[in-house]
Structures are given as structure tokens and as C-alpha cells.
Amino acid sequence: MTGAANETLTPYRKQGFGQTLEPIPPYGLLIVDFVNGFADPEMFGGGNIRPAIARTESLLAHARRAGWPVAHSRIVYADDDSDANIFSAKVPNLLKLKEASPASQIVDELAPVAGEMVVRKTVPSAFFGTMLAPWLAQRGVISLFVAGAVTSGCVRASVVDAMSHGFRPIVVSDCVGDRALEPHNANLFDMEQKNACLLTLSEALELPVSATTAVA
């Protein structure tokens, strides 16, 4: 660890941040906004988002084999913009993400299958105003693995809300991406100090497999 990194960590350690948060089964997986628009550098993408999508294929396959509950999220605004809000006022191009818009569709590599939840939202968090929390709770999830885009926005908001709902967020650090690396790295650091456990994909795949049984 460099001197600068040590200096950054010193006040956090002194004040008691960054305690260990171990993954505890049963597990679930949330994939945040890995849609075509966020995979496209000309729209909302760039940075390390595309490589994160590629690595999430392995994470999703692992979750399916293990029988974890899997949820995906999309940003979807009404065709007539009647649900335009502060988020879209700050980022007007988000209003291009409609139900039938190709940009709002989950990337083919991670397309949901039967039994996986798809959350439609108009704000950063996949939990705010949605049924995601009770859906996960009904399926017994304790630790929620999180992949998606972008690290500094919808991923961060969803992780904070997962924690607030009592789930243990496990951010898979190389399966989340942002259009710029500085906010990506800064938000990974901050989530690890305050809200979540950070694991790499290889570390996540090495955990003992734990399945949950869905409640009818």
C-alpha cells in the first residue's frame, strides 16, 4: 500500500469504518441496468462497463447453477414522459429509455430467464418504489451480490438501499462498471468502508455454493 493510500485510510480506520462484512447464505444476485444504452459509449456507456458485462456472464451462470434468486433492473420511462422526474431533469437523455426502446433492453448476454425478476425504475435505486425488497425477502436472501452500472450511480444507490433493507450487499468489484474510472474507484472504496463487502469475480465464484428455495 502506498503512502498516499495509507494516508487516505487513516481517518477511516481511526473512526472505525471498513469493518469486515462476511457473505452469509442464502445468496441472491442483483444485476443493475446492464442494458444496451449503458453498454454503448455513445449513449450512457464507456469506461469499464463492457468488460464488467462480459465478466457478469460468469457470475450470472454461477448464480443460476446454484439456484440463487436473480433480479435485473432497467430504467424505463413512460412513452408520454408523464413520469419525468428530478433524475431525468438532471440527465434528460434518460427519457429515451422507454419500454420498447432498444436502449432500455437488457443486453443479450445477460437476458433474463423465466423466474427472474425484472425491476422497472425511474430513479437510481432498484429498491425505491419497487417490489424488489419483499421479493428477495420472500426467497430468504441474506447476502445480495451486486453487479451492474454505473458504480457511482445506480449501483451505489441500490447498494445503500439493500443495506437499508437489511440485506448484506456484496459488490462484485470487477462486475460493476462506470463511464469513468475515477468515480468507479472512489465509489468502490466508499462502499467498502460504509455499506458493503467487496469481492472480485474469482473470489465470489470460490464461495461455497448455497441455494435458496423460492416461496410460491
**59 inside domain:** yes
Catalytic residue among 35, 63, 117, 154: 154
**84 inside domain:** no
Q: What is the tens place of the pLDDT at every residue in 78-133?
A: 999 999 999 999 999 999 999 999 999 999 999 999 999 999 999 999 999 999 99
Q: Mean pLDDT of all residues in the chain? A: 95
**141 inside domain:** yes
**13 inside domain:** no
**42 inside domain:** yes
Kindly report the CATH number assigned to the domain that includes residue 112. 3.40.50.850
Binned at pLDDT 50, 70 and 90, residue 3 comes out as: low
User: Domain range for residue 138?
Assistant: 25-74+100-206
Buried b / exposed e along 76-105 (16+ C-beta atoms within 10 A): bbeeeeeeeeebbeeeeebbebbeebebbb
How far from the centroid of its chain's Cα atoms is residue 8's Cα?
25
**35 inside domain:** yes
Total domains in the chain come to 1
**182 inside domain:** yes
154 is catalytic: yes
Helical spans, DSSP H, in the chain: 3-14, 36-39, 49-66, 86-90, 132-138, 156-164, 181-194, 201-206
Q: What is the tens place of the pLDDT at every residue in 128-175?
A: 999 999 999 999 999 999 999 999 999 999 999 999 999 999 999 999
pTM: 0.94
User: What cell does 86 get?
Assistant: 428530478
